[in-house]
Amino acid sequence: MSTTAPAAGERPTIVLVGHGMVGQRFLEALAERGLTATHRVVVLCEEPRPAYDRVQLTSYFSGRSPEELSLTDLAFIGEHGIELHLGDPAETVDRDSRTVTARSGLVVGYDVLVLATGSYPFVPPVPGKDAEGCFVYRTIEDLLAIEEYAKGRAGSGAVVGGGLLGLEAAGALKGLGVDTHIVEFAPRLMPVQVDDGGGAALLRTIEDMGLSVHTGVGTQEILTDAAGAVTGMKLSDGSELATDMVIFSAGVRPRDQLARDCGLTVGERGGIAVDEQCRTVSDPHVFAIGECALAADGRVYGLVAPGYEQAETAAATIAAAEASFTGADLSTKLKLLGVDVASFGDAHGTAEDCLDVVYSDSRSGLYKKLVIGRDGTLLGGILVGDAEAYGTLRAFTGSVPPVSPEQLVLPAGAGAPAQLGPSALPDDAVVCSCHNVTKGTIRGAVTDHRCTTVPEVKKCTKAGTGCGSCVKVLGQLVTAELEAGGIEVDKGLCGCFAQTREELYEIVLALRLTSYQDLLDRYGREEARGGDGCEVCKPTVGSIIASLAPAIGADGYVLDGEQAALQDTNDHFLANLQKNGSYSVVPRIPGGEIAPEKLIVIGEIARDFGLYTKITGGQRIDMFGARVEQLPSIWARLVDAGFESGHAYGKSLRTVKSCVGQTWCRYGVQDSVRMAIDLELRYRGLRSPHKLKSAVSGCARECAEAQSKDFGVIATSNGWNLYVGGNGGATPRHADLLAQDLSDAELIRLIDRFLMFYIRTADRLERTSTWLERIPGGLDHVRDVVVHDSLGICDELEALMAAHVSHYRDEWAETINDPEKLARFVSFVNAPDTPDPVVAFVPERDQMKPDLPLLSIGLRRPAGEDVLEGSAQR
């Protein structure tokens, strides 16, 4: 056993037990106060890797590596001489001798001990909880184990717990291809954060994703086979659920055993009791921060923002500065299974004599509730499905907003005036709750510290460096402050062009420019002229030239000449690149209507090339797994059978979905299939700032879900209603009614105008939903331009669309007949006949799926190299 207690005259020692997010923030706070220069700092870490972003843990399953999740800059550790021991947790504390003994036998003496041991997952004491196939969801190692088990042994899985982590775990299982169940004892999902209305909206959206939710029931037993592996669950209502694996995510408990063992006071329900300086009530030499600490207000805080504040309080106290932690904002904003969920302030309305203002649209999964005091004070709220206003609303909590509560919850296009922006916030409003940064501090960073960009303000104030939910508001405040100070804000497309996308569109159209290089050399920033451009402006200008090709006399084919060099990977090969390096093949099936002969052709091609086939939500058939050199052969057969490119790879029209309409359905009032086919064939190949989706429903029952599309059409007994600006993606938005009871000709004329006006004025990669909310005047302005021709440009918009329609050519039909174009479809230019060896597959459900190796776990330390000291890092 070795001892590293400081000898007389040595620097005092701070020992930190635990190196999670809060522990790392404590180290940074020590460094900011100069304590790493005056003290020896030793960290005992149980996990085999330094601190990482546990809030974003689930992003591992969407491709984010452990290295990318890391919060630890090893150069910082080395620069400040911090001794970081990985995989060597503290096992005992001797408060009399002031030493800590680690698992390895290392004994470290301390002057100050800081416990940041966090929490552990609560696993209900049910029979079978330790069976093979049972997991918790807490660390990267847990995720690696879940991924490995699901990959080879699980077709179905169940998550016990429908709270924050439970829903994240369910999303991870779903992403692994596992049929997923969620079991929640409370009567609704996320019972702590949302009320019954919010829970209902969340439930509908999650069930629409294909997950099975069981609320109001508990887990009684985990069922196993003779080998001890999970086969199912018995629930408290007597039912049984077949499942191959179980993830427990039923809450957490403070990790306070180390404190208990050394005699520190803990709370009745757990947590190391501390005072307002985060010093333990039992020992002035010991502090506790984060999820293991029972704060002076009697609460254990399970969010990262209060933990950061406790870390800063402890560091300040150690530095003999005045600081206190008296409580924290429990507001939170998350994206769970792609659904925005947020709560702030007194979300459940516990204050006496308060009122609720509620907007609910269960069909779209939207729920917004504000809790208002009798005097108009905003006390709190809940947002499900659309948390765009979270940053502003949370900052207004505790004050009377300058507009009525109704204006704060109504969505754009639902009769609400312009939404309240962050510029209306008072200076003392907290914008970043993670680091307690006010609007006034952000303004000061711009005016006093000369910060001119969001990254500079982040570095100066720490705002936006925590959970990240305030970054959008931060950007708006920085821009507003710069403009208020008379400083010109660079709104250029990129470092190559000072113009916006809209301005570049107008230049290309007015001057009939057909060359990117010509545009760059004539209108690019001086330092960019003569160069090659960048990854932002090249595809953007390529899209502009393609969308205007007939009008400006350009060749609209994306792989001709200079245009080919402007395209990204997908457009370069006219196919969507998949995660294992293969490509998808997506022929167009207008309106979802397809003859049996064409179905047979698709089946034969998929069989002959060994492709995975799937019917999409847009009513067409995807074929996955094609190697790049196979694409021309596949498309030659498809084109010969009458198919054309579905443009799944391009920023262009994807699909026009339809129901069967009056032809078959007894409720239909118009021929929705015919209209959907007409629209898809009219707008196919139309290049735009972002992808476009559409749908046509034959009656108000809306089976085609037209109101979640960029432009959607719903039949009425008098014609068609046109909706625009919808989005069913990551930020769902209900489309707005632009015009109603239109004839066929009127409908097509308005869609022509709407699409060309959007293409003309939208920003790069801006969906119609975002564009409609950003453009000055919003829907009313768009209606004035498109319907009433207020700008006098509708003839031009219609002419541009007519030129596109008359000049349309199928990209794949042209490609397969041109040997020069076919030459690009190889994995290796210097070995064109060699297939990519990385592209491999394994069988699954009578088809195949990519054979992907597990991601590297990274940052493991070999034995004997788990101590990072300053001298070793310099």
Annotated binding-site positions for [4Fe-4S] cluster: 659, 665, 699, 703
**Where are the alpha helices (H) located in 110-229, listed in sequence order?**
140-153, 164-175, 196-208
The neighbour count for residue 4, using CB atoms within 10 Å, is 17
Contact 89, 45 (CB under 8 A): yes
CA–CA dist 570, 650 (Å, integer): 7
Residue 652, phi then psi, degrees to nearest 5: -160, -175
Other CB atoms within 10 A of residue 210 CB: 9
CB 589 within 8 A of CB 622: no
The dihedral built from the CA positions of residue 432, 434, 436 and 437, taken in this order, carries a sign that is negative
Q: Are 90 and 17 in contact (CB under 8 A)?
A: yes
Alpha helix (H) ranges present in 496-535?
501-511, 516-523
Q: Which residues are annotated as a binding site for siroheme?
A: 703
Question: Which pair of tokens denotes residue 399?
Answer: 């004050």
Tokens of 792: 């006098």
Q: Apex CA 394: angle with CA 392 and CA 395, to 5°?
A: 65
Q: Name 295's bridge partners.
A: none
Rounded to the nearest 5°, which phi and psi values hold at 336?
Answer: -110, 120
What residue type is 191 in one-letter code? P
**366-400 burial code (b ≥16 CB/10 A, e <16):** bbbbbbbbeeebbbbbbbbbbbbbbbbbbbbbbee
Report the C-alpha gap between 134 and 112 in whole angstroms.
Answer: 39
Distance (Å, rounded) from C-alpha 96 to C-alpha 627?
68
| SS3 of 586-648 | CECCHHHCCCHHHHHHHHHHHHHHCCEEEECCCCCEEEEEECHHHHHHHHHHHHHCCCCECCC
Binding residues: 659, 665, 699, 703
End-to-end CA distance of the chain: 29
Give dist(CA 7, CA 682) in Å, integer.
83
Q: Please give the biggest Cα pair distance in the chain.
A: 93
Helix H, strand E, coil C: the string for 21-47 is HHHHHHHHHHHHCCHHHHCEEEEECCC
Residue 53: helix, strand or coil by DSSP?
coil
